[in-house]
Chain A
Amino acid sequence: MVPLHYYLVLSGILFACGVTGFLIKRNIITIFMSIELMLNGVNLSFVAFAAHWHALSGQVFVFFVMVVAAAEAAVGLAIIIAVYRTRETLNVDKVNLLKL
């Protein structure tokens, strides 16, 4: 029998790794993947709570999260392709023209 908070701590660690990746990585695609990691961590949290409280809607919500993640991944990668075409680089530090 696994206590609930084990799942939650794991979920938290995954989320923290996602945030760290977002902060320290320079390749835009890797940053995107960190976002997916964050979303996964949250999904785990949802499912764990659903099991704890016996509420199935937690799992339904996971669906929606996945749908949104998919849509976002698709559009985001399309943008990355467009940016790569014009700027010839995937280094996020080089794409910094939008400044004051």
Chain B
Amino acid sequence: MLHLTLFLVFGAVCLAGAINLLVQRHPINSALSLVAVMAALAGEYLLLGAEFVGAVQVIVYAGAIMVLFVFVIMLLNAGEEERTRGSHIALLIGVPGMLTGSLLIAWVLLHHSGTEAVGIGALPGPPKALAQLLFHDFLLPFEVTSILILIAILGSVVLAAKPEPSQEKEN
């Protein structure tokens, strides 16, 4: 009962944040609602027993990535969104397509699932157990992702760097 209530509370926050992201016109508001979504998701993870993942969610996702987003929004001084007529296709085909897909998945899920329940804290995920898995079975992907991060760093430094003064004069 408690489990269900907590799930619904966190779920409601997620949904509210998601819909707010869509509705808001200023990107900073959207960013903040996304932070709220992530926090609520961390709660969901805890409910499922993935404690380490939940913590990492807050630290990395909400704490680093979203901060980066907010930082860029403020750097670029993005204002409210203008209303431009962009594309008919997106609204005419994309949205219905997305709706179709989602409804179908929802129907499948609801139709074909039984009453298996997931208990509260069903699968504990202590750091030790995860680390075992990560550094033994998933060592290669782990190393690859570290290289990925390196490349990302290099890339973003290069891309976002201010152009040389001589280049600016040429431009």
Interface, chain A (partner B; CB < 8 A): 1-10, 12-21, 23-27, 29-30, 32-34, 36-37, 40, 43-44, 47-48, 50-52, 54, 56-57, 59-60, 62-64, 66-75, 77-82, 84-85, 90-94
- Say yes or no: B118 contacts A48, CB within 8 Å: yes
A72 to B129, CA, bound (A): 28
A62 to B134, CA, bound (A): 11
Secondary structure of the A contact surface, majority rule:
helix
- Say yes or no: A7 contacts B44, CB within 8 Å: yes
- Say yes or no: A71 contacts B113, CB within 8 Å: no
**Tally of chain B residues near chain A (CB < 8 A):** 87
Q: Which residues of B have CB within 8 Å of A64? A: 138, 141, 145
Q: Which residues of B have CB within 8 Å of A80? A: 72, 76
Beyond the given pairs A12-B109, A21-B21, A90-B78, 9 more chain A to chain B contacts, judged by CB atoms under 8 angstroms and listed by A's residue number, are A14-B18, A23-B98, A26-B83, A26-B84, A30-B81, A47-B45, A59-B130, A66-B61, A71-B151
